Structure 1
Amino acid sequence: MIRSLLLQSWQAQVRSPFWERGLVVNILLGLLALYLLANFLFAGYFLDVILQNSVPDEHPIAALSGIFFFTWIAGLLFRFLMQSFPVIDIQPYLLLPVRRSKLFHYLLFRSVFNVINLFPLVFILPFTFKVVSTEYGAVAQLAWIVSVMCLALFNNFVGFYLKRQFNMSPFAILGAFLVLCGIAYADTQEWLTLSDAFANTFMAILTNPVLSLIPVALVVLAYQLPFRTLRSNAYLDTVEGRKGRVESTQGIAALRRLGMAGQFVQMELLQIARNKRPKTMLLMAVLILFYPFFSLEYLENGESFSMVFLFTLMATTFPMATYGQFLIAWESSFFNMLMARRVPLMEYMKGKYYLFTLFNVAAFCVCLLYGLADIRMIPIVVVSFLVNMGITAYIILFLSTYNSRPVNPEKSAFMNWEGVGASQFLLVLPAFFLPVVIHLLLQWILGWQWGLAVLGMIGIVGILLHRPIMQAVVRQLSRRKYDLIDAYKQEV
């Protein structure tokens, strides 16, 4: 049965009308995957030399075993944010006389053959043949490879489970990831020694290969998590009926005060909450909020303040720029309907600006916490916020009118190049680097503090000139809307 389902899945992809249209893209992605696999293979062959130079006091096998704890946490975070799981593929079979357990086994079995699961194997094979087999023998080598692959498969199934659970209880899952990150940080500060426990376990497997059954058992347990979740939520009413709640149709009270622009903001928020791609992209943007943490050392050394400003600006701008690169394209499937109704373009674009305001306020509040580590971060964060609201937001609004490629927000964000064009790359340059270039010039003329103050004043002027600037943006959309309507007619 599983073999038949895999064959039908392949036939569905080949016979799809999008197969030939995206054939060149698929070939390029395949070549990129092969290139990355070759790099991992090359790095794995010289891994012992790299470890000896990096950690000369430790044996390469022991040093690599100590890293496994951090790669496990990083791999789990990566899979949750980036890896897509083809849950929707089994929907046509749910009405057929096919056992649901077979469908769920097929779904989980198919997720194993993801290219992400090949990277650990390709990376570890040269190292084991070169180092492990010569010191511990072929049996220990096989047990070690099985244990490493079990670590990858454990993350695969747990990531599948967390992805499903996130739709039902997102705050609980985010809390769990924060706990994991806290544990990793505690290990780096030597408050906990979980990485040592990982290293000791993998070293013990080399001397006693039977212990490799422990990772195998963990994979079997991890497999049960998504399988039971899929079986418990096989029907839509099992998810919605259990909650027994009544949704309000009135929306958010604060947004209703903004009039029609507030309704557009609410529509954007609902679209983010209900679709995979914008939700995943914004979750990735949350990780960028940790960038200023790596720039604190520049403040301590009293040098390269522009680098600190760049890191802070990237952290505060990234949520807005990530979503804003497809700002109008998110609505490509119904953009012509919006333009056919009596929708004032000013209210439409003001809704986009208010959404950016929400993103910037949230990023501003988070980055203000860096002021607890160094009080000099507070004016940098404040100026970054003013620059985003008075300069960058208008740039993104203006450039978004040039993205004429349709986007399907329901698709996964991982390796998804749909809607990506030259306008996205052009958007990055002024959004991130124009304020930094201005600050460098002002710093060279006036000094660091006055340069930052003048840049903040420019942001304030942009906020005060909100109406005339927005009128210019609306005129740009008015000129481009028919081109966008024509471009979005093609099927997403």
Structure 2
Amino acid sequence: MISHFLNLEWKQFFRSASFSKSVGAKILIGFFALYFAASFLILGIGAFYIIKDQFPEQDPLVLVNSFLMYAIIGDLIFRYIMQKLPVMNIKPMLVLPISRSKIVHFILGKSALSFFNILGLFFYIPFAIILIKEGYDASGVLGWLAAMILVTQCANFFNFLVNKKNAVFAGLIAVLIGGYFVQYFELFNLPAFIGQGFDAIYANPILALIFLVVLVGLYAINYKQLKNEVYLDVLISEQTKEVNSADLSFTDKLGDLAPFIKNDLRLMWRNKRTKSGIWMLVLGLLYGLYFYPQTALKDFEVIYVLVGIFSTGTLLINFGQFIPAWDSGYYKMLMSQNFKYERYLKSKFMILTISVVLLFVLGIPYVYFGWKVLLVHFAAMIYNIGVNSHVILYGGTFNRKKINLNEKAAFNFQGTGAVQWIIGFPLMLLPMAIFGLINWLVSFEIATATLAIMGFIGIALHNKLMASITKKYIDNKYVMIHAFNQEN
């Protein structure tokens, strides 16, 4: 039966109507998969020797174990954002004499072979081999490796249980940030405390069975939950949900833009594709924590621009680049209404501007890393408002691909075309190039002021730029209506 299921999956993959259309996206995803796999493999091979060279007095295994808390929680966060639940077209099978248990076991077994579960092995297995080669106890290392494989699988099935629970995701973020700061300020070394548990597994490999028990428990819970949903009447019945409407009356102060802004805010929070993108705001805001603590990059000031543009413009980039494709499902109806197109675009601009300012304010604590960081972030905020927001809106006139709002954003290239790749150059690389050149030729202060001045010029020319962009949208209106009517 398993071979029959695999045969059906193979045929579904190659015979689907979207296969030829999405082959480019699949190749791109494959490229990224190979890149990450190669990176983890190289790191796994070289980690022992790098640690020995940089920290000669520390045991590489103990040091790696002390950072496993970050790796495990980071893996869970990455899965929450990126990993899709295992799916299978099971409706036709429910009227056939096929056991529901076999269907459920196949779906769960299929998830165990997910790339997310295999990726970590490209680090753990080479690292374990190097440890044995360098004289570590083989049984202890194999016990540690077995524990890491089981932990990876536990994360896989735990993710399926909490995938739709935003409170759990927020808790993971809180634990990750809290663990970092309590360690940074030397209040309590939580990562090292958890690392001692993995040290104990190396000393006593039988302890790895604890994770096997946890894995069996998680599998059983997933099995029971999924089996209860594998009924034909459950799959075809209409689900009724009570919708709690948020109070958006504060937007009424924005006048005739309020109806459009309300619609966009509801769209962001109620749909899976946009909701996944909202959580990117947290990652974008914390983007600088990867670069700024590194002393090697302290004098590489062009990095400040990269972080500033990205952290203050996370929503601008993730949401703005798909304007007006977010409304593609009802774009024809929207264009039949009696309103000025300029109001529609100004509402988008208002949302992008408010998000840029808000993210800058939330990022003010980055001043801890120096006043230069905050100064560049301020200039990046002005640049995003005056330049990048208009670039994003203009780029939207070339969007021709429909977006399904019910699909997750992770590894989802639906709605993505050449425009989204090309527009990255003026958004990110242009300000970095301008800043880097002027900083090298003149000074840091002049380079920062140049970015801010360019932003202020864009703000001063806002009305003229919007008039030109609006005309472009109106000229392409019927082309976009026709394009959005086509199925991807």
2-side partners of 1:300 and 1:126: how far apart?
28
Structure 2 CA distance for aligned equivalents of residues 14 and 157 of structure 1: 28
- Partner Cα separation in structure 2 for residue 88 and residue 255 of structure 1: 42
1:382-461 equivalence runs, <5 A? 382-439=378-435, 448-449=444-445, 452-453=448-449, 455-461=451-457
Tell me, yes or no, if the aligned pair for 1:82 and 1:413 is still in contact at 8 Å: yes
1:132-185 per-residue CA deviation (whole Å, 9 max, x = no partner) reads: 37846665454333211011112212222232222xxx4x63144213321144
Take 2:396 and 2:163, find their aligned partners in 1: how far apart are those partners? 30
Counterpart position of 1:113: 113
- Cα distance change on mapping 1:443 and 1:60 into 2, 3 Å: closer
Q: Is 1:173 matched with 2:169? A: yes
Q: What does residue 33 of structure 2 align with?
A: 33
Give the aligned CA root-mean-square deviation in angstroms.
3.9
2-side partners of 1:300 and 1:340: how far apart? 56
Which amino acid letter does the alignment assign opposite residue 339 of structure 1?
M
SS for the counterpart of 1:334 is helix
Give CA deviations for 1:168-221 in whole Å, capped at 9, x if unaligned.
xx4x63144213321144235543334334443333333432211112122234
Is 2:338 the counterpart of 1:327? no
* Pairing of 1:98-247 with structure 2 (within 5 A): 105-132=105-132, 135=135, 139-166=139-166, 170=167, 173-223=169-219, 226=222, 247=244
Contact 2:70–2:191 (CA under 8 A) maintained in structure 1: yes
Structure 1 unmatched ranges of 5 or more: none
Question: Residues 376, 16 of structure 1: CA spacing in aligned structure 2 closer, same or farther, 3 A cutoff?
Answer: closer
CA displacement at 1:442 relative to structure 2: 6.4
Report if the CA contact (8 A) 1:121-1:145 is conserved.
no
CA contact (8 A) 2:161 2:222 kept: yes
Matched, 1:314 2:301: no
1:346 lines up with 2:375 in the alignment: no
Between stretches 173-182 and 450-459, larger displacement belongs to: 450-459
The change in CA–CA distance for 1:176 and 1:73 in structure 2 (over 3 A counts) is closer
CA contact (8 A) 2:356 2:384 kept: yes
Bigger mean CA offset, 272-281 vs 1-10? 1-10
State which drifts further: 74-83 or 13-22: 13-22
Q: Which moved more, 1:130-139 or 1:402-411?
A: 130-139
Task: Give the match for residue 486 of structure 1.
Answer: 482
Distance 1:480 1:255 in 2: 29
Contact 2:304 2:377 in 1 (8 A): no
Displacement of 1:6 in angstroms is: 5.4
Q: Name the counterpart of 1:61.
A: 61
Aligned to 2:67, the other structure's residue is in SS state: helix
Other structure's SS at 2:329 match: coil
Question: Structure 1 residues 489 and 130 mapped into 2: Cα distance closer, same or farther (>3 Å)?
Answer: same
Identity %: 28
Paired residue secondary structure (1:401)? helix
TM-score normalized with structure 1 length: 0.82
Name 1:475's counterpart in structure 2: 471
Aligned residues between the structures: 484
TM-score normalised by structure 2 residue count: 0.83
Q: Closer, same or farther in 2 for the Cα pair 1:432/1:109, shift >3 Å?
A: same
Residues in 2 aligned to 1:45 and 1:436: alpha-carbon distance in whole angstroms: 34
Greater shift, 10-19 or 128-137, is seen at 128-137
Which secondary structure does the structure 2 equivalent of 1:406 belong to?
coil
User: Could you tell me how far apart the structure 2 residues matched to 1:270 and 1:340 are?
Assistant: 21
Pairs within 5 Å for 1:295-310: 306-310=302-306
Q: Alpha carbons of 1:204 and 1:428: their partners in 2 closer, same or farther (altered >3 Å)?
A: same
Check 1:452–1:122 CA distance in 2 against 1; reply closer, same or farther (3 A cut).
closer
Map Cα deviations across residues 396-451 of structure 1 (whole Å, 9 max, x no partner): 10112123233333223333333333322221222224344555576678854465
